[in-house]
Amino acid sequence: MKEPVFLQACRRQPTPYTPVWLMRQAGRYMPEYRAVRDKVSFLELCKTPELAAQVTVEAVERLGVDAAIIFADILLIVEPMGVGLEFSQGDGPVIHRPLRSGRDIDRLHARPAAPSLGFVFEAVRRARAALPQEIALIGFAGAPFTVASYLIEGGGSRHYIETKRLMYADPGAWRALMAYLVQATTDYLNGQIAAGAQAVQLFDSWVGCLSPADYRSFILPHMQALIGGLAPGVPVIHFGTNTAGLLELLAEAGGDVIGVDWRTDLDAAWPRVGFDRAVQGNLDPVSLFAPLDILRGRTARVLDAAAGRPGHVFNLGHGILPHTPVEQVIALVELVHEMSAR
Residue 237 neighbours by CB distance under 10 Å = 23
Comparing CA positions, the residue from 191, 176, 17 lying closest to residue 110 is: 176
Amino acid letter, 325: P
Give catalytic status of residue 24 as yes or no: yes
What single string gives the DSSP state of each residue in 246-257?
THHHHHHH--SE
Query: What are φ and ψ of residue 91, in 5° steps?
Result: -105, -5
Give catalytic status of residue 73 as yes or no: yes
DSSP reduced 3-state for 139:
strand
Instruction: Give the active site residue among 37, 97, 175, 216.
Output: 37
Q: What is the dihedral of CA 76, 33, 339, 241, to 10 degrees?
A: -30
Q: Kindly state the greatest CA–CA separation across the chain.
A: 58
* Cα distance between residue 307 and residue 247, in whole Å: 20
The sign of the dihedral angle between the CA atoms of 285, 243, 70, 7 is positive
Give catalytic status of residue 150 as yes or no: yes
What single string gives the DSSP state of each residue in 186-240?
HHHHHHHHHHT-SEEEEEETTGGGS-HHHHHHHTHHHHHHHHHTSPTTS-EEEEE
Q: Which residues contact 185 (CB under 8 A, 6 or more apart)?
A: 77, 141, 142, 143, 144, 147, 202, 226
What single string gives the DSSP state of each residue in 49-96?
HHHHHHHHHHHHHHH--SEEE----TTGGGGGGTS-EEEETTTEEEES
Instruction: Give the active site residue among 12, 29, 66, 73.
Output: 73
Comparing CA positions, the residue from 54, 56, 69, 57 lying closest to residue 20 is: 69
Element (H, E) at 265: none
Instruction: Give the active site residue among 29, 33, 150, 180.
Output: 150
Give catalytic status of residue 103 as yes or no: no
Instruction: Give the active site residue among 11, 17, 28, 214.
Output: 28
Query: What are φ and ψ of residue 159, in 5° steps?
Result: -120, -10
The set of catalytic residues is 24, 28, 37, 73, 150
